[in-house]
Structure 1
Amino acid sequence: MYIPPQFEESRIEVLQEVIMRNPFGSLVTHSADGIDANHLPFVLELRSGTLGMLYAHVARNNPLWHEIPQGSEVLVIFRAQDAYVSPQWYPSKHDFHQQVPTWNYRVVHAFGRVAFRDDARYVRGVVAKLTQANEASQPTPWKMTDSSEEYISAMLKQIVGVEIEVTRLVGKFKLGQDEEVRDIRGAGEALIQRDGRCIGMAMLECANDKDAEGI
C-alpha cells in the first residue's frame, strides 16, 4: 500500500482500535490457484507482548482452509470510514480555484500467520468470542444457550476456525492532512451534514491537531 508520510498512522493502539470498531475484514490469501479474498467478521484479542490474535471462521465447504498451508502469511484489510470529498467544500477553492475532487478514508492492513482449526471445542470458543463482541450492544444479548445444544452442535460442525497471529500492522489515514486547516475543517463539516459524520469528525480532529501544531 502506497502511504505518503503525511497519511501514515503507526500508533499500534490506534490501529487496533480501528480493527475492533470495524471488525468486518477482507482476508487476502495466495495459493497455487492464485490470489483470493474472503470477507469475514473478526474479533481481535489483545495479548501482552504481541500485536494481537485475530479470530474468525469459514464454512466447512469453503476450499480456503484446504488450499492455504498452515502458517502461511496472509493479509486482512480493515476499512473504517470513507467518503468522497468535493472541491466545493474547500474555502480555498473559491479563492484560488486550484482544488480537485478526492476520496478520504481510514484503513488498516494486518499481516500475520494463519492457522485453521477443525476442532469442535476450539470452534465453539471462536463463535463465543464473536458472539460476545457483536452482541454486547444489544439490549438483550443473544447467547448460544438460547438455542438447543443439538442445534448449536449441528451448526458448529459446518464451520472451521481461523486464527491469525498478527505480525505487522500498517495504517493509512487519508484525512486531508496535505490541505490547509480551513479546507480540512470545511470538508469535515460538510461531511457531517451529509451522513458522513464519522469521517467528518475524524477530519475535524485532524484539522484541530494541525492547527495546534501551527502547521
Structure 2
Amino acid sequence: MYNNKPHQEHDLDRLHQHMLHTRLALLVSHGEQGLLATHLPVLVETGEGEFGTVYGHLARANRQWQDLEQGGEALLVFPGADAYVSPSYYPSKVDNPKVVPTWNYLAVHAYGPVEVIHKPGPLLDIVTRLTDRHEQGRSEPWKVADAPSDYLDGMLRAIVGIRLPITRLQGARKLSQNRSAQDIAGVRESLGASSDHLDNQLAAHMRDL
C-alpha cells in the first residue's frame, strides 16, 4: 500500500479494532487464473499468532480458492471511513491559494498465506462463529443449529473455508496530519457539518488526533 509517513498507522490495537469493525473485507490473490478478488465477511482472531489470524469462507464455485490452495501470499483489504476534502475547508487558503483537493480515509491491509479448509467440522465452526457475531444484539438471534441438519450439510458442501495467519499488517490513517492544526480543524468541522454520514464518520475519527 502506498502510504506517506504522516499517515502510517503502526499501533497494533488500533489496527485490530479497525479490522474487527469492518463488516466486509476484500480478499485479493494472484495465481494461475490471474488476479482475483472476493468480498466476504471475516472473523479476526487478534490473539492467534503475532498479528492475528483471519477466518472466512468462499463459495466452492468461486475458483479463487483453487489458486489459494496452491500457496503464495494473499491480501485482505479492510476499508474504513473516507471523505473528499475540498480546498475550501482550509482556513490557510486565504493566505496561500496553492492547495488542491484530496481524499482522507482509513484502511488496513493484512497479508499472509491461506489455508483452504474442506472438512465439515472446521467449516461448521467458522460459519457458526460468523453467524453468532452478526446475530448478536438481536432480540431473537438466529442460530446455525436452527437450520435442518440435512440442509446445513448441503450448504457446507457448497463452501470452502479459509484461514489466513497474518504475517504483515499495513495501516493507513490519512486524516490531514500533514496540514497545520488550523487546517485540520477546518477539515474536521466541515466534514462534521456535512449532510453525508460518511463525512461525519471521518470527522469523528479526526477528533482523536
**TM-score range for the pair, normalised by the shorter chain length:** over 0.9
The alpha carbon displacement at 1:187 in A equals 1.1
* Runs of 4+ residues over 6 Å off in structure 1: none
Residues 1:198 and 2:201 are matched in the alignment: yes
Give me the TM-score of the superposition, normalised by structure 1.
0.90
Q: CA 1:58–1:186 in 2, change beyond 3 Å: closer, same or farther?
A: same
- Whether the aligned pair in 1 keeps the contact of 2:68 and 2:115 (CA below 8 Å) is no
Aligned-partner SS, 1:205? coil
Aligned to 2:182: 182
- Whether the aligned pair in 1 keeps the contact of 2:73 and 2:111 (CA below 8 Å) is yes
Deviation string, structure 1 residues 68-105 (Cα, Å, up to 9, x no partner): 33542111111111111111111112333232111000
The alpha carbon displacement at 1:118 in A equals 0.6
Gaps of at least 5 residues in structure 1 are: 207-215
Residue range with higher mean Cα deviation, 82-91 or 143-152: 143-152
Distance in 2 between the 1:188 and 1:149 partners?
52
Distance in 2 between the 1:128 and 1:13 partners?
25
Aligned to 2:133: 133
The alpha carbon displacement at 1:49 in A equals 4.9
Aligned to 1:209: none
The alpha carbon displacement at 1:24 in A equals 1.3
Distance in 1 between the 2:48 and 2:105 partners?
29
Q: CA 1:185–1:204 in 2, change beyond 3 Å: closer, same or farther?
A: farther
Residue range with higher mean Cα deviation, 31-40 or 175-184: 31-40
Distance in 2 between the 1:140 and 1:168 partners?
38
- Whether the aligned pair in 2 keeps the contact of 1:184 and 1:204 (CA below 8 Å) is no
The alpha carbon displacement at 1:141 in A equals 2.0
Residues 1:118 and 2:118 are matched in the alignment: yes
**Residue pairs, 1:160-179, within 5 angstroms:** 160-179=160-179
Residue range with higher mean Cα deviation, 125-134 or 69-78: 69-78
The alpha carbon displacement at 1:13 in A equals 1.1
Distance in 2 between the 1:160 and 1:22 partners?
21
Give me the TM-score of the superposition, normalised by structure 2.
0.92
- Whether the aligned pair in 2 keeps the contact of 1:70 and 1:116 (CA below 8 Å) is no
Aligned to 1:85: 85
- Whether the aligned pair in 2 keeps the contact of 1:82 and 1:199 (CA below 8 Å) is yes
Residue range with higher mean Cα deviation, 145-154 or 16-25: 145-154
The alpha carbon displacement at 1:130 in A equals 0.8
Distance in 2 between the 1:35 and 1:54 partners?
21
- The percentage of counterpart residues that share the same residue type is 36
The one-letter code of the counterpart of 2:118 is D
Distance in 2 between the 1:67 and 1:99 partners?
45
The one-letter code of the counterpart of 2:205 is A
Aligned to 2:108: 108
What is the number of equivalent residue pairs in this alignment?
Answer: 206
The one-letter code of the counterpart of 1:133 is R
Aligned-partner SS, 1:96? coil
Q: What is the root-mean-square deviation of aligned Cα atoms in Å? A: 1.5
Residue range with higher mean Cα deviation, 88-97 or 174-183: 88-97
The one-letter code of the counterpart of 2:44 is L
